[in-house]
A = this chain, B = another copy of it.
Amino acid sequence: MPSEWDYIAWLRLRTPRYPRVILGPGDDCAVLEPPQRPLLVTTDMLMDGIDFVVAEVGPRRAGRKAMAANLSDIAAMAAVPVAAVVSVALPQRDGQLAEELYLGLRDIADRFHVPIVGGDTNSWPEKLVISVTVLGEATKHGVVRRDGAQVGDWLFVTGALGGSILGHHLDFTPRIQEALRLQECVAVHAMLDISDGLAADLNHICHESGCGAVLVAEAIPIAPAAIELSRTSHKPPLQHALEDGEDFELLFAVSPEDGAQLLHEPPFPGLYKIGECVSSGLWLEDSTGQRQPLAPRGWVHEFV
């Protein structure tokens, strides 16, 4: 870990708000108090031109997205984020870009009290690359996986979907607090954060859990951005809600009893029941009760 990044991080580390940090940057590794419960690790690399266009959105929003996407993976398993490390390849020796990027990373990390405990800052003649790794700790309830959905479970999402490319993919809030709150209220059988798109990610849960699912078309919350985008894309807003990626809302399955309780006393606003788990297949049910096969289309990772 080179020193130039360390100096900035180190200053911000010297506060009493991060009791877990024993040693921050300045040595070869950061040192943290050992977690009491299982340790989670997630990593995501974001590249200029693929995950954002830095010339359009600026380094601050790019940095924010890189941190938020990783925090969202911690939320997906209903854990508590503990610390982050950040490696970057800067497109030039641009101190201001580095500072803006750092501020963006901090914008969202600070909100969840996650210290950036180390990093590696490089420059090169190519485009900006940001790689974030976030460590988390399980709660006393354990982690939520993708493979626990059961036939009959109700399916929920934590917010409106679609059209994230218009801005939400940069400015979303990882659903950490919502995930932790849910786990306190109910037994979450399976969960993930929607990054590939609702249909594709639902397929992941079904595949891992060995079940199918039916979504109720009218129950799917459609983001205003999906409607706006449909004007130029000439695709229906529902299709955007089903297939656009990077909503970063939680998709989860609970028992009908727990589901009814969530509807009766929502622990937070923006909770939508969108369907149920069935024995097999992916289905979309229209307003007449007719079921059509639902293609698990979504945002495809570049390297497939």
Q: Please list the residues of chain A having a beta carbon within 8 angstroms of any beta carbon in chain B.
A: 1-4, 22-23, 26-45, 47, 49-50, 73-74, 76-77, 79, 83, 85-90, 93, 98, 117-127, 129, 131, 133, 135-138, 143, 145-146, 192-193, 208, 301-304
Contacts and interface: CB of A to CB of B under 8 A. Distances in A.
Given A41-B117, A45-B88, A192-B28, A1 B50 contact: no
A40 B45 contact: no
Contact of A30 (B29, B40, B127): B40
Nearest to A34: B35
Contact of A131 (B39, B45, B125): B45
B79 A29 contact: yes
A5 to B, nearest CB: 8
A29 B45 contact: no
A14 B208 CA distance: 17
B40 A31 contact: yes
A249 to B, nearest CB: 13
B87 A43 contact: yes
A98 to B, nearest CB: 7
A90 B40 CA distance: 25
| Most chain B CB within a 10 A radius of its CB, from A40, A135, A192 | A40
9 contacts: A2-B303, A28-B74, A29-B74, A29-B76, A29-B136, A43-B85, A43-B120, A49-B124, A93-B304
B89 A43 contact: no
Given A34-B36, A98-B303, 5 more contacts: A1-B73, A23-B145, A28-B146, A34-B34, A45-B120
A98 B302 CA distance: 13
B41 A33 contact: no
Contacts of A2: 301, 303
